[in-house]
Amino acid sequence: MKITAMIIFITTYILLLVFPKIRAYIALISASIFVFIGIIPAGKCLTFVDWNVILMITGTMGIVSLFIESKMPALLADLLIEKTPNVKWAIIALSLFAGIISAFIDNVATVLMIAPVALNIAKKLKVSPVPSIIAIAVSSNLQGAATLVGDTTSILLGGYGNLDFLDFFFFKNKPGMFWIVQAGAISSIFVLMYIFKDYTKPVKSISRTIVKDYFPTVLLIGMIILLIFVSFIPDKPSITNGMICVVLFYIGLVNSFYKSKDLGIVLKALREIDYYTVLLLAGLFVVVGGITEAGVIEDISKIFVTISKDNIFAIYSLLVWASVFFSAFIDNIPYVATMLPVTAGIAKILNIDPYILYFGLLSGATLGGNLTPIGASANITALGILRKNGYEVSNREFMKIGVPFTLTAVTVGYVLIWFIWS
């Protein structure tokens, strides 16, 4: 049974890599096979799905779509640009702003919000928008690990490690992932300053975006406040965070319909939810549950321990840098979904606190996507925007920014996580 489960899992992973456009269907079919051949009892199938994660992703995506539609992010970017003296600092400011936004909003959505501002500046100043949009993409990926709602991988870790919103700031009386990511972001500023050192043209004032509906902004802030509030409630239902996000999204839909009397606006917001990713995650939860039931996860954990010769620092280093490498070429969602139980298994074998390994995994897997143009959805989105505007970006051109940015941020995070949590 264990060999069968391993064959199904490896086949699934290969198909996920070869056919990225149908990943959700591959994961669901694979999950069905685990149930059909009896590795997972049919009645137990849905218990492997982390419904809190599913609800959080769905609700957050919906609220973010309303927030983008309100044009508030564009206005904030306009106000930021007004304060910058030249193109270099405009690009750095936009990149940092994209990072801050991305700590609370999906990375792809962040790029879709901020990239048009960079395009507008580039057109007015008659400079290439390529470097600035690449910088925005990699910066948004960096901050995805900063908070519970910053990225799907963070939500996965929150669900698996039972972490609440505030735990990403302070956990067990120690600095959490938020501060580690900020240290990486600060160090990456120097990389951007060097890359854009010749971009010294002054920035002319641009027209401000007009915001007519502030309610989505209130919803987004309300979501963060409520997630912080429930962090203090012990023994709360497991789907509390997810229900907060979904209920607030529902309130946003009702408000949009009440103000516009246009059902099309509601349907548009519902269409903005990435149901494909939701289905992919549901399938992956069951697949990982299947190989866990079969004992495959335990065997993989033992392999890691054997390779590292029971040395915790060696295991931590292997986990971080292997995650950086793999995430440069494959989607980090299935990777993290698979590696979280492996990481827990390693910690159990060594009888150590798993959180240093969890944070190392999150750091490497989230930031590793910045190494290559295909390593993260935000990168692919950014290059798609550039392509639509007539700019073809080579791998070399992307990696001139992505590689030094990533290695700097990951190294800082790698050292800090070990220093704080070892």
Strand partners, 171: 174
Instruction: Quote the longest CA-to-CA distance of the chain.
Output: 67
Q: What percent of the chain has pLDDT over 70?
A: 98
Confidence band, pLDDT 50/70/90 cuts, at residue 355: very high
Query: pTM of the predicted model, to two decimals?
Result: 0.78
Query: Is residue 175 within a helix (H) or strand (E), and if so which, with residue range?
Result: strand 174-175
Query: Looking at residues 14-30, what average pLDDT do you find?
Result: 83
Q: Among the residues of 70-106, which ranges form H helices?
A: 72-82, 87-102
Q: Which pLDDT tens digit goes with each residue over 257-279?
A: 888 887 877 888 888 777 877 88
Query: Looking at residues 346-363, what average pLDDT do you find?
Result: 90
Residue 416, pLDDT > 70, answer yes
Residue 228, pLDDT > 90, answer no
pLDDT for residue 281:
78
pLDDT for residue 250:
92
pLDDT for residue 247:
93
pLDDT for residue 197:
84
d(CA 278, CA 286): 13
Residue 206, pLDDT > 80, answer no
pLDDT for residue 389:
81
Count of alpha carbons within 13 angstroms of residue 277, beta-carbon side: 24
Lowest mean pLDDT among 95-104, 180-189, 367-376: 367-376
Residue 299, pLDDT > 90, answer no
Better-predicted residue by pLDDT, 223 or 106: 223
- C-alpha distances out from residue 186 to 149, 183, 191, 290, Å: 21, 5, 10, 41
Closest among 95, 140, 149 to 381, alpha carbons compared: 140
What is the 3 state secondary structure string of the chain?
Answer: CHHHHHHHHHHHHHHHHHCHHHHHHHHHHHHHHHHHCCCCCHHHHHHHCCHHHHHHHHHHHHHHHHHHHCCHHHHHHHHHHHCCCEHHHHHHHHHHHHHHHHCCCCHHHHHHHHHHHHHHHHHHHCCCCHHHHHHHHHHHHHHHHCCCCCCHHHHHHHHHHCCCHHHHCEECCEECHHHHHHHHHHHHHHHHHHHCCCCCCECCCCCCCCCCCCHHHHHHHHHHHHHHHHCCCCCCCCCHHHHHHHHHHHHHHHHHHHHHCCHHHHHHHHHCCCHHHHHHHHHHHHHHHHHHHCCHHHHHHHHHHHHCCCCHHHHHHHHHHHHHHHHCCCCHHHHHHHHHHHHHHHHHHHCCCCHHHHHHHHHHHHHHHHHCCCCCHHHHHHHHHHHHCCCCCCHHHHHHHHHHHHHHHHHHHHHHHHHHHC
pLDDT for residue 181:
92
pLDDT for residue 320:
92
d(CA 13, CA 29): 12
Query: Looking at residues 402-422, what average pLDDT do you find?
Result: 91
Lowest mean pLDDT among 54-58, 283-287, 331-335, 400-404: 331-335
pLDDT for residue 52:
81
Confidence band, pLDDT 50/70/90 cuts, at residue 178: very high
User: Do 343 and 374 touch, CB atoms closer than 8 A?
Assistant: no
Residue 205, pLDDT > 70, answer no
d(CA 48, CA 19): 25
Query: Looking at residues 113-128, what average pLDDT do you find?
Result: 76
pLDDT for residue 308:
81
Q: What angle do CA 181, 185, 188 make, to 5 degrees?
A: 140
Tell me the torsion sign for CA atoms 160, 138, 401, 420. negative
pLDDT for residue 62:
85
Q: Which pLDDT tens digit goes with each residue over 1-13?
A: 778 888 888 888 7
Query: Is residue 155 within a helix (H) or strand (E), and if so which, with residue range?
Result: helix 152-161
User: Do 67 and 248 touch, CB atoms closer than 8 A?
Assistant: no
pLDDT for residue 331:
67
pLDDT for residue 180:
93
Cβ contacts of residue 262 below 8 Å, gap of 6+?
Answer: none
Residue 107, pLDDT > 70, answer yes
d(CA 47, CA 315): 30
- Residue 192 token pair: 């951007």
Amino acid identity of 406?
Answer: T
Q: Which pLDDT tens digit goes with each residue over 242-256?
A: 898 899 999 999 988
What is the chain's mean pLDDT, rounded?
A: 84
Q: Which pLDDT tens digit goes with each residue over 302-322?
A: 887 888 887 889 999 998 998
Query: Is residue 187 within a helix (H) or strand (E), and if so which, with residue range?
Result: helix 177-195
d(CA 221, CA 63): 10
Long-range pairs of 45-49 with CB within 8 A, sequence gap ≥ 24? 45/286, 48/285, 48/286, 48/288, 48/289, 48/290, 49/282, 49/285, 49/286
